[in-house]
Amino acid sequence: MKFINSVLFTLAATVATSAAFAPAQFGVRPTVQLEAKKSIADLSEEELKGKKVLIRCDVNVPLDGKTITDDTRIRSSIPTIEYLKGKGAIVTVCSHLGRPKDGPEDKFSLGPCAERMGELLDQEVKLIGDCIGDEVTAAVDGASEGDVFMLENTRFYKEEEKNESEFVEKLAAPFDLYVNDAFGTAHRAHASTEGVTKFLSPSVSGFLLAKELEYLDGAVTDGKKPMAAIVGGSKVSSKITVLNALLDKCDKVVIGGGMVFTFLKAKGLEVGTSLVEEDYLETAKEVMAKAEKLGKEILLPVDIIVADKFDAEAETQVVSFDAIPEGWMGLDNGPESTKAQKEALADCKTIIMNGPMGVFEFEKFNKGTFGIVDILADLSKDGDAITIIGGGDSVAATEQSGRAGDMSHISTGGGASLELLEGKVLPGVAALDEA
């Protein structure tokens, strides 16, 4: 059974309560590497019943003290855990949280995550005070079918990120098989994402990882045309690889955010005190020349909201893209730019957004970002476009806008989304068993 189709069929059949995990609409993708990986849907009930399963989830959620401010990543892990429980497995979740520097730190404990997961599962999720050792073994060995545990933060050990073999073996030791459902860390070859696959067999994908691959890889390799990419953010340097990759695949590319001003300056325009990467002016020229050679359309803003300083309470005005005043900086797209984007995207069937159009954290400069989010949401809700939000800031803006539920897919991975869109191999995926 092929990786994506088997996973999404089972998901639709067994986890109907999670509407966010509906199948994608790309059909069978030609990428052999991804389709040839096993998923939990490929395992028989006998392979799961009574088995001790280590599942890598991504519960790296934002916290205000001990209060979770956004539980999206925890909620996204529930369908796979419910499925494993339903098959009689003993489920143990591992994850990281934050960036601990020197061993355990209480502020990075997974206690709040275990508590929230328990609420969502309507059962106790016991936090084990370590991620390796006798305490873990004793808890798992004494468990009953359907029990769920959570290991303490794997990054309390520096060996996690180093993928150190002795640590990997200790992490894997109490378990029978491994499930990776953490797309957000699949681009890292860490102990809990790649190393344990050397000691646990089978090692397979969960539903969330499959859904991410279906949408993101499916869009790039086999997305319906016309296809558009929206690439925003502050710097060309951080987006140039994905920009070039998407330019190869897409018919239209909308460029927004601070990176706009490097492109405008590369065209010979004055940009005031706007953010410019001088070292990337030639790169911007090369991107525009490439687009022209390929017959692709690049959309830059036609008007800009400028400010006299970088401040939420700054004085603002709307100016043409070629009339930015000296001493003023561009911080958002103007209304005519949003209108132009709506017209350009109207016929697109696949749209990928990675990065905001402006400093949306400030109310005065959120209209460009929220405007394009509305465009995508309407195309997805009222039309037949596939809309994919990939990247941390894009996801945050979409959630803030209140239109997240109207998108086809919102990625749980920031760096992983970028690397997949760039065409890179994700170690956490490559390490899974072949079908």
Active-site positions read 73, 235, 392, 415
Residue 333 has φ and ψ, to the nearest 5°, of -75, 150
| Cα separations in angstroms, 132 against 172, 192, 323 | 8, 11, 61
> Cβ contacts of residue 236 below 8 Å, gap of 6+?
243, 259, 262, 263, 277, 280, 283, 284
CA–CA gap between residue 137 and residue 143 (Å, rounded): 10
Looking at 205-310, list the stretches that DSSP marks H as alpha helix, in order from N- to C-terminal side. Answer: 207-222, 240-249, 260-266, 281-294
**DSSP bridge partners of 90:** 52
- Lookup: tokens for 326: 């000296």
Q: How far apart are CA 51 and CA 53, in angstroms?
A: 6
Of 178, 207, 204, the residue nearest 191 (C-alpha)? 178
CB atoms < 10 A from the CB of 8, how many? 20
